[in-house]
Structure 1
Amino acid sequence: MSYFSSSRRGWFTVAATAVVGSVALSGCGGSTSTAPTGSEPQTIKFSFSTANPTDTFLQDTAAAFEKANPGTKIELVKLPAETEPQTVTTQLQGGNAADVMNIRSGQGQIGAMNGFAKAGLLLELNDAEFSDRLPQSIEDLFKYEDKFYAVPLSSMPTGLIFNEAKAKELGVTLNADSSFDDFLDQCKVARDKGVSLAALAGTVPGNPGIMTLMLASSTVYGPNPDWNADRAAGKTTFADDKGWQQALEGVKQMFDAGCFQDGAAGAGFDTLISSMGQGKALGFFAPGGAAKSIADGSKGAVNPVVVPMPAPGVSEKYLGTTAELALAGNAKTKSPTLVKKFLKFFMDKQGAEMVAKGQGTLPVNLGDYALPASYAPIAELYKEDKVRPLPQTDWPSAKVYDSLGKGVTAMITGQKSGADVLKEMDTAWGK
């Protein structure tokens, strides 16, 4: 969902931008007043980016808000996906950001909410209408010192974005019931057919990082959803935790079984996505919205499903999800009431479902929302409440996640062991 450099951009944004390119396989200033003198300006600026350059769901949602609120105007400012987190950071610090903007929830990455809130750059959102609409499991990602400063765009389940039709042609079988041993066996079947089961972009830390977090969702955070709090309290460490050891050992087993394409450690997103588009790989690791981007970009020629990743050494399977993509208001806006009203619209049923359908994701309050067909393999995990937020948005700095992503790549080239990687994550975390 964000994509990824060492600065930890949102993986989905970068990955899906690359997907659409390969599988087809205006400045931000203050508000302009259109309201009567003495009242709050009823025009605000909204800066954003989308993973797929052709997506219009945010524009459509803004238009729906205008229709529901006559006399209001949302000026749209589309930013390049690759640089959007850095651009928003610079604009907020410089005092010329839009009234509403894309940011990242929690902390531990560029463009994350906590740093902006700490600096007093974001509008407080303490109305009950915000807090009451956030699931308790993720509300801390949108709070700083018990005050809300952002709203989620959607919930993005993660998994193997899998070309099921192509796999069947080759005799490769992988589904929601597959164990980790099954996964390794199918890696070998795929190799015998001249393809890899999963492509990996080793030069982009977020790709091996998100893959490993999928394993840790079952080995670490499924059994103990409060693991991050335990780490922060000094009750455990990455290096001493059995679940984290299992996750890193699983990565090594996947590499040894030939699950990744040749040269995976040196591959970027272009290689990753082109491998799937050309039938050289059957899947790749990403938030589930990438499945829609591939289907749209290929005009239906490829319709992937999202298969949950099994993990080694555990019988229970948990689904990792992320709600890292968020919206926030500028503390310097001249229209705070209108900004809050606009942000609430994204949490209302109409706005939340427009975003989810356009993005190929899910509303954070799932309710009776029908899962996309591509999510069929993960549907049972939702029914059984075996869903865990990915942990990196609650880590203290981007260095921890960067150490994981880069460390995994070093593992598959034989430069580091799993124990080395976990020790480096502890060092990056600090006391």
Structure 2
Amino acid sequence: MSLNPTNRRRWLSAAATAIAASVVLTGCGGSDASAPSGSEPQTIKFSYSTSNPTDTFIQDTVAAFEKENAGVKVELVKLPAETQPQTTTTQLQGGSAADVISMYSGQGQVGSMNGFAKAGLLLELKEPEFSQTLPKSIEKLYKYEDKVYAVPLSSMPAGLIFNQAKAEEVGVKLDSSSTFDDLLKQCTVAKDKGVSLAALAGTVPANPGILALTLATSSVYGPNPEWNADRAAGKATFAGEEGWQEALDGVKKMYDAGCFQDGAAGAGFDAIIGAVGQGKSLGFFAPGGAAKSIADGSKGAVTPVVLPVPAPGASEKYLGTSAEMALAGNAKTKSPTLVKKLLKFFTDKEGAEMVAKGQGTLPVNLGDYQLPASYAPIADLYKNDKVRPLPQTDWPSAKVYDSLGKGITAMITGQKTSADVLKDMDTAWGN
């Protein structure tokens, strides 16, 4: 979820602990190392943050890199998730950033790569291996003016993080083959049993926003993967796109069918944690890594799956994925060769799979990678190429996504219509 992304990461961290515990009870500057004259310092700094404070995938991958490169030292600087975008921006602008920095790809969020690249603050990755390993579907998120400035950390499928075992207990039947009408019917079944199908944080634009994006993936971006480009060229608008209308109306239909907990429009993240943790809601909308966080936090007592969200009016179901987490080099580093070597390690098979397994995500180049059990419901979508990048990282500013999230809450409370929300998004786009 990305209201701003730090809120999503803070919440996933809290949810991994609070939900698991409840269910168990109820059921930096550039390199400063000295080096021989004419050679690069072999100690570099790497600033990052993670959604779950217990995650060690960055540390483990860096340790593997150091093991393969005798004499190299990577000093890790962990930044608070809540302030990482602002801290990174301040450090890069002030000349005190680490040599390697985690950030957001594209341009649609606070602390995104494009703004830093435009300002000349990032190391250009000119070597062919960086451009050649970028999947075509996401390469524009890692390029500025057709030059590569960052590498993807992982791919995060987004959907309904669903407690299938609890659902079966109350007689709710929902799986990867379910249609939108099936979804609405199961919302009624869940409500009759005193639970909600999903918990929603209506006061946090990220949460209704990601739900709308998962619906629009099927109704808009499945049929037309280049819809954002059409919007940028003035060939399409949110207000004039039937698929966007269907997606937003779908959220309202879910609300009217009782799919969400009581008081969802006024709820925050804490309400989601409580509802799901106490078994009062069967799931929530988030990137798939949340499923691993909950499973780990509960020591295997809870093993959620990631379900694709069916969209109204869509003839086929598509899965939305995010490759928003990126790694980039500081343009002022004293060790550009070493920085690039580390970035390449994270994109090579060994490093990419270490990150994916540790984070509960997927490598951006899936290849023969074995999907974890939590992703079993979405395996066929990958197999049949029914996957699309979530679109917000390619929007011109964070204002568009913010308008979507806030607008949906206003819509489900009767303050706005879906047409109003789509017009607001067009205004936020800037033309």
* Structure 1 residues 30-59: Cα deviation after superposition (integer angstroms, max 9, x where no partner): 212243233110000000111110111100
CA shift, 1:15, in A, is 3.1
1:42 aligns with 2:42: yes
Match for residue 115 of structure 2?
A: 115
Q: Distance in 2 between matches of 1:30 and 1:347?
A: 22
Match for residue 282 of structure 2?
A: 282
CA shift, 1:11, in A, is 6.1
Contact 2:40 2:335 in 1 (8 A): yes
Q: Distance in 2 between matches of 1:176 and 1:381?
A: 9
Q: Output aligned runs, 1:280-359, within 5 Å.
A: 280-359=280-359
Give the match's secondary structure for 1:172: coil
Among 8, 13, 17, the residue aligned to 2:13: 17
Q: Output aligned runs, 1:69-88, within 5 Å.
A: 69-88=69-88
Q: Distance in 2 between matches of 1:10 and 1:367?
A: 30
Match for residue 418 of structure 1?
A: 418
Q: Distance in 1 between matches of 2:332 and 2:173?
A: 54
Give the match's secondary structure for 1:346: helix
CA shift, 1:307, in A, is 0.4
CA shift, 1:22, in A, is 1.2
CA shift, 1:18, in A, is 2.1
1:394 aligns with 2:390: no
Match for residue 159 of structure 1?
A: 159
Unaligned runs of 5+ in 2: 22-27
Q: Distance in 2 between matches of 1:217 and 1:205?
A: 18
CA shift, 1:14, in A, is 2.7
CA RMSD of aligned residues (A): 1.0
Match for residue 33 of structure 1?
A: 33
Q: Output aligned runs, 1:48-67, within 5 Å.
A: 48-67=48-67
Q: Which amino acid counterpart does residue 118 of structure 2 have in structure 1?
A: K
* Structure 1 residues 206-226: Cα deviation after superposition (integer angstroms, max 9, x where no partner): 111110000000000000000
Q: Distance in 2 between matches of 1:268 and 1:351?
A: 36
Q: Distance in 2 between matches of 1:137 and 1:338?
A: 28
Match for residue 126 of structure 1?
A: 126
Q: Distance in 1 between matches of 2:9 and 2:346?
A: 19
CA shift, 1:298, in A, is 1.4
Q: Which amino acid counterpart does residue 415 of structure 1 have in structure 2?
A: Q
Contact 2:17 2:297 in 1 (8 A): yes
Q: Distance in 1 between matches of 2:32 and 2:63?
A: 18
Contact 1:159 1:306 in 2 (8 A): yes
Contact 2:13 2:51 in 1 (8 A): yes
Match for residue 25 of structure 2?
A: none
* Structure 1 residues 346-369: Cα deviation after superposition (integer angstroms, max 9, x where no partner): 001110000000000000000000
Moved more, 16-25 or 119-128: 16-25
Calculate the TM-score normalised by the size of structure 1: 0.97
CA shift, 1:202, in A, is 1.0
Q: Distance in 2 between matches of 1:95 and 1:266?
A: 42
Give the match's secondary structure for 2:101: strand
Contact 2:46 2:75 in 1 (8 A): yes
Match for residue 251 of structure 1?
A: 251
Give the match's secondary structure for 2:5: coil
Match for residue 92 of structure 2?
A: 92
**Percent same amino acid at aligned positions?**
77
Q: Output aligned runs, 1:220-235, within 5 Å.
A: 220-235=220-235
- Please identify runs of 4+ aligned residues in structure 1 that moved more than 3 A: none
CA shift, 1:274, in A, is 2.0
Calculate the TM-score normalised by the size of structure 2: 0.97
Contact 1:10 1:104 in 2 (8 A): no
Q: Distance in 1 between matches of 2:45 and 2:8?
A: 24
Q: Which amino acid counterpart does residue 399 of structure 1 have in structure 2?
A: K
Contact 1:407 1:421 in 2 (8 A): yes
Q: Distance in 1 between matches of 2:188 and 2:229?
A: 39
* Structure 1 residues 121-163: Cα deviation after superposition (integer angstroms, max 9, x where no partner): 1000121110111111110000000100000000000110000
Q: Which amino acid counterpart does residue 188 of structure 1 have in structure 2?
A: T
Match for residue 379 of structure 1?
A: 379
Contact 1:18 1:269 in 2 (8 A): no
* Structure 1 residues 358-404: Cα deviation after superposition (integer angstroms, max 9, x where no partner): 00000000000000100000000001100000000000111000000
- Count of residues in Structure 1 that have an aligned counterpart in Structure 2: 425
Q: Distance in 1 between matches of 2:273 and 2:156?
A: 19
